[in-house]
Amino acid sequence: MKLIRHFSLVDCPGHNVLMSTMLNGAAVMDAALLLIAANETFPQPQTLEHLKAVEIMHLTQLIVVQNKIDLVPQATAEDQYYRIKEYLYNQASHAPVIPLCAQLKHNIEYLLEYMVRVVPPKRNLTAHSLMTVIRSFDINKPSENIDDLCGGVVGGTVTKGILKVGQEVEIRPGHVRRLQKGEQKCQYLHSHVTSLKAEDNNLQFAIPGGLIAVGTTLDPTLTRSNKMVGNVLGAKGSLPEVYSVLEISYYLLLEVMVASKKVHKIKIQERDNLQLNVGSLTLGAEVTKMTEDPPMMRLRLAQPVCCSRDERVAISSNFGSDKSFRLVGWGTINRGAAPQTG
């Protein structure tokens, strides 16, 4: 084979209680592979939820992989194939369905060809650099000499522009402090990029795509244990606004899966506590105002978030016997109110 393109693959959990993890991962993806087992009934309870998540996160490229076709008779595999195509058509999706046997590597070449030819990356290299943080950590050992301490490290994906070693960057919302009466205060962080790594490769610059570890001059106590997840890093003075209150136009799903059964549309009321996915951040939010015509919702956020107007957010609500959060809809950010800064 000849090397044509590099792909970074992210394995997303399928269980409903881990939907927020999947939505956070989708925030930095270009395309999605929906894996369906030929030897199981279709659709599984989470299939509809995952297809809606793909739509919410603006993943326009979807490839459906029908795996394990070697474990069932040909007629069974063909029957499921056509049921998948019909199901996708009813969901207004024209995604291709590729039957294969991954273990025996049958039809893998067709999947690779489709990924290379039909899922071209759309990169904006001329814009100000912007990176979504999905990990952060402290690489220093507990017994490290103070003179040998390294700055904090953040990991994520560059979504636009070019990030370079030595570049001055800003991180928002940054360090958040709790004030009286539930108010919050943000301190935007400023740093320099000391290193860029992709796996074991040291880079001088990073372009959109793939997962990058960015060494900084930040105090490592700020980045340890994923404290910076959900932040946005980029060129100083070019980042989106930070909000502690959001006003969104919302849409609720017509049906939601609970205990493997479809239930009717979930109703949300004022003072309800919801879970939002904004970029790579999962956070709580309280509904402070709600209208149905037009459908608008004002939310007080449990923590500030750096985001852009017209950005999509996923909405989850806790209901059912186990009271776990389930995806019930999505919204588009119209405006917001900023927290205190300084």
pLDDT at 168: 96
Q: Is it the case that residue 16 has pLDDT exceeding 60?
A: no
For the segment 103-158, what is each residue's pLDDT rounded down to a tens digit? 999 999 999 998 988 776 778 899 999 998 989 999 999 888 988 899 999 999 89
Question: How many Cβ atoms sit within 10 Å of the Cβ of residue 246?
Answer: 24
pLDDT at 91: 76
Q: Is it the case that residue 21 has pLDDT exceeding 60?
A: yes
CATH topology classification for 242-337:
Elongation Factor Tu (Ef-tu); domain 3 (2.40.30)
pLDDT at 263: 62
pLDDT at 282: 87
**Domain boundaries defined on the chain:** 16-117, 130-235, 242-337
pLDDT at 38: 95
pLDDT at 256: 67
From the number of C-beta atoms within 10 Å of its C-beta (0-12, 13-18, 19+), residue 3 rates as exposed
Q: Is it the case that residue 261 has pLDDT exceeding 70?
A: no
Q: Which neighbouring-strand residues pair with 272?
A: none
Q: Which of 211-225, 267-281, 307-321 has the highest mean predicted lDDT (pLDDT)?
A: 211-225
Listed in sequence order, the residues at least 6 apart from 61 whose beta carbon sits closer than 8 Å to its beta carbon are: 30, 31, 32, 118, 119
Give the mean pLDDT of 59-67. Answer: 88
Q: Is it the case that residue 82 has pLDDT exceeding 60?
A: yes
pLDDT at 234: 95
pLDDT at 257: 60
Rounded to an integer, what distance in angstroms lies between the CA atom of residue 107 and that of residue 88?
21
Indicate the average pLDDT of the chain: 86
Question: How many Cβ atoms sit within 10 Å of the Cβ of residue 5?
Answer: 12
**b vs e for 30-51, b when ≥16 Cβ sit within 10 Å of the residue's Cβ?**
bbbbbbbbbeeeebeebbbbbb
Rounded to an integer, what distance in angstroms lies between the CA atom of residue 31 and that of residue 9?
10
Rounded to an integer, what distance in angstroms lies between the CA atom of residue 32 and that of residue 151?
34
Rounded to an integer, what distance in angstroms lies between the CA atom of residue 277 and that of residue 315?
7
Backbone angles phi, psi at 133, to 5 degrees: -90, 120
Domain spanning 16-117, CATH architecture: 3-Layer(aba) Sandwich (3.40)
Task: Please report which confidence band the pLDDT of residue 197 belongs to, taking 50, 70 and 90 as the band edges.
Answer: very high
The CATH number of 130-235 is: 2.40.30.10
CA angle 321, 262, 47 (to 5 degrees): 105
Residues in the chain: 342
Fold match flag (130-235 vs 242-337) = yes
